[in-house]
Chain A
Amino acid sequence: MTELSLHILDIVNNSTKAGATLVQVDIDESVIRNELKITITDNGCGMDEDFLSKVTDPFKTTRTTRKVGMGLSLFKNAAELTGGSFGITSELGKGTQVTATFVHDSIDRQPLGDMASTMVTLIGGSESTDFVYRHNFDGKEFEFSTVEVKKILDGVSVVSPEILSWINGYISEGLGELYE
């Protein structure tokens, strides 16, 4: 993966595959603390302790098309390569939380990349899931929630091209202001 936002897309796809109805993506970015922390929390089916203990082993997957799973192990490696850390907690029937912390100024840290595109891809790919995206940059905060958007849409589908395009613009602008 060339961008952290691509890892996020891949990791959140695990959540929707696990039947989550709500996924929260938190990015806590601080140049002052020299840290970029990504937390993904879902209310999907979760994993039992035994499975969880092996889940970042690339040979652990419940997919049948290929014998190796690799999304979580790639994400873990990306964080650890910068001198950061990775953690995953899960409870069967309750949900899962994945946390990856990156050293902000490490030359091995991939750029965050296009988070608007990642969110729009997620929203478009799973109409029945709600997504909350919070991004904090040295104390400034941007938040986007499909719960709020769907209320406004009042029956109009969130996956229509016009709406997804608006969401893309809204998130891009919001993040642009964070970094100003």
Chain B
Amino acid sequence: MKSLAELEQIRNKMAAKINVRSETDGDIRIVVGMATCGIAAGARPVLAAMMEEIEKRGLTNAYVTQTGCVGMCKYEPIVEVYDADGTKTTYIKMDAAKAVRVINEHVVNGNVVSEFTIGAAN
């Protein structure tokens, strides 16, 4: 059974290395649309899959944030990836499996997964 004592242990381990890890300009920012349209289309498991993959791989150069409706509801769930140099890639109609591929291929290896991008749909 998980206890708050266990949380304290995790906390202490993290505090020991906390100054190594901080959100900086060099990080890849991942933005998941979490408005009504996104949630209804399946954005929550997309976000969960990305967080899980980042944690599993111990990635420290990427972080996930959420945003509201970006006005393209029919393409939800939408994920935007901002590379360290500011380049933005918009992935559309995402699901958990696609999300894991974006982490592995784009975030880890630096290769845009073209088939999931908004460009591929047009």
Contacts and interface: CB of A to CB of B under 8 A. Distances in A.
Co-complex (A, B): yes
Interface of A: 1, 6, 9-10, 13, 17, 63, 65-66, 69-71, 74, 114, 117-118, 120-121, 124-125, 148-149, 152-156, 160-166, 169-170, 173
B113 to A, nearest CB: 21
12 contacts: A6-B39, A6-B40, A9-B34, A9-B44, A10-B36, A65-B68, A65-B71, A66-B71, A74-B36, A117-B48, A155-B15, A161-B51
Interface residues of B, number: 34
B120 interface: no
A64 to B, nearest CB: 9
Contacts of B52: 165
B8 interface: yes
B55 A125 contact: no
A162 B6 CA distance: 12
B45 A117 contact: yes
B83 to A, nearest CB: 20
B48 A161 contact: no
Nearest to A75: B36
A66 B73 contact: yes
Nearest to A65: B71
A162 B18 CA distance: 12
B1 interface: yes
Contacts of B20: none
B2 A153 contact: no
